[in-house]
């Protein structure tokens, strides 16, 4: 009888551990794979990223954050360039937000064709891929609703020889 009680106690411990892992996976962390070349040169096709989902629930996204969002029938990874309420446009390969030139320090591939001005609606973001000549992004499908955002990748986990912080 004592063995049965010990067995039940052990099983309860394992069930609790599994439940905690499942809850973390559903509400805190997830993974995604980069598909395609739209975020090169920093993120490559086949990279596997760890994505935090807490900003989506308890924080706010900032300009130049990389996000993962649902774009039916799949998930996409892009960089936020326009925040809710802002007027965004590109002129001569320069980003203008509310008529002011915005500098950025990340690398892009190719020239960004002129577009805008567009006013980003509340609850939405304007996103671009870093590989401007090979990216399906807000220039094609429009604004990304906040409710479609899954989270923000923060760690490149694959390939193992290139584990790094994503920024």
| pLDDT, tens only, 96-113 | 999 999 988 888 888 889
Q: What is the pLDDT of residue 124?
A: 96
What whole-number percentage of the chain has pLDDT above 90?
A: 54
Sequence-separated contacts (24+) of 92-96 with Cβ below 8 Å: none
Structural domain span for residue 134? 2-165
User: Does pLDDT of 63 surpass 80?
Assistant: yes
Q: What is the pLDDT of residue 68?
A: 95
Q: What is the pLDDT of residue 137?
A: 93
Higher pLDDT, 123 or 158: 123
Beta bridge partners of 156: 49, 164
Q: What is the pLDDT of residue 1?
A: 78
Q: How many domains does the chain have?
A: 1
The answer to whether residue 38 is catalytic is yes
Report in angstroms the alpha-carbon separations of 160 from 48, 49, 64, 94, 155: 10, 11, 25, 35, 11
Structure confidence by residue, pLDDT tens digits, 4-55: 888 999 999 999 999 999 988 888 888 888 998 899 888 999 999 989 988 8
User: Does pLDDT of 89 surpass 90?
Assistant: yes
Report phi then psi at 151, rounded to 5.
170, -165
Options 13, 78, 111, 162, the catalytic residue = 78
Q: Are 130 and 79 in contact (CB under 8 A)?
A: yes
Report in angstroms the alpha-carbon separations of 96 from 35, 66, 90: 29, 19, 6
Options 9, 13, 38, 107, the catalytic residue = 38
CATH code for the domain in which residue 62 is found: 2.10.109.10
Question: Residue 58's pLDDT band (boundaries 50, 70, 90)?
Answer: confident
Spatial CA neighbour of 104 closest among 122, 123, 130: 130
Q: What is the largest CA-CA distance in the chain?
A: 79
Q: What is the pLDDT of residue 115?
A: 92
């Amino acid at each position: 009888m004592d063995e049965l009680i010990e067995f039940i106690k052990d099983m309860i411990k394992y069930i609790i551990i599994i439940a905690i892992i499942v809850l973390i996976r559903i509400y805190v962390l997830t993974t995604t794979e980069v598909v395609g070349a739209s975020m090169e040169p920093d993120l490559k096709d086949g990279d596997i990223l760890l994505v935090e989902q807490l900003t989506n629930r308890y924080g706010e996204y900032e300009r130049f954050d990389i996000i993962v969002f649902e774009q039916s029938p799949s998930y996409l990874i892009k960089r936020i360039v326009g925040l809710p309420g802002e007027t965004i446009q590109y002129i001569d390969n320069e980003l203008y937000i509310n008529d002011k030139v915005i500098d950025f320090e990340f690398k892009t591939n190719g020239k960004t064709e002129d577009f805008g001005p567009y006013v980003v609606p509340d609850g939405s973001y304007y996103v671009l891929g870093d590989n401007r000549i090979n990216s399906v992004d807000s220039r094609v499908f429009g604004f990304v609703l906040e409710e479609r955002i899954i989270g923000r990748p923060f760690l490149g986990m694959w390939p193992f020889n290139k584990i790094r912080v994503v920024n």
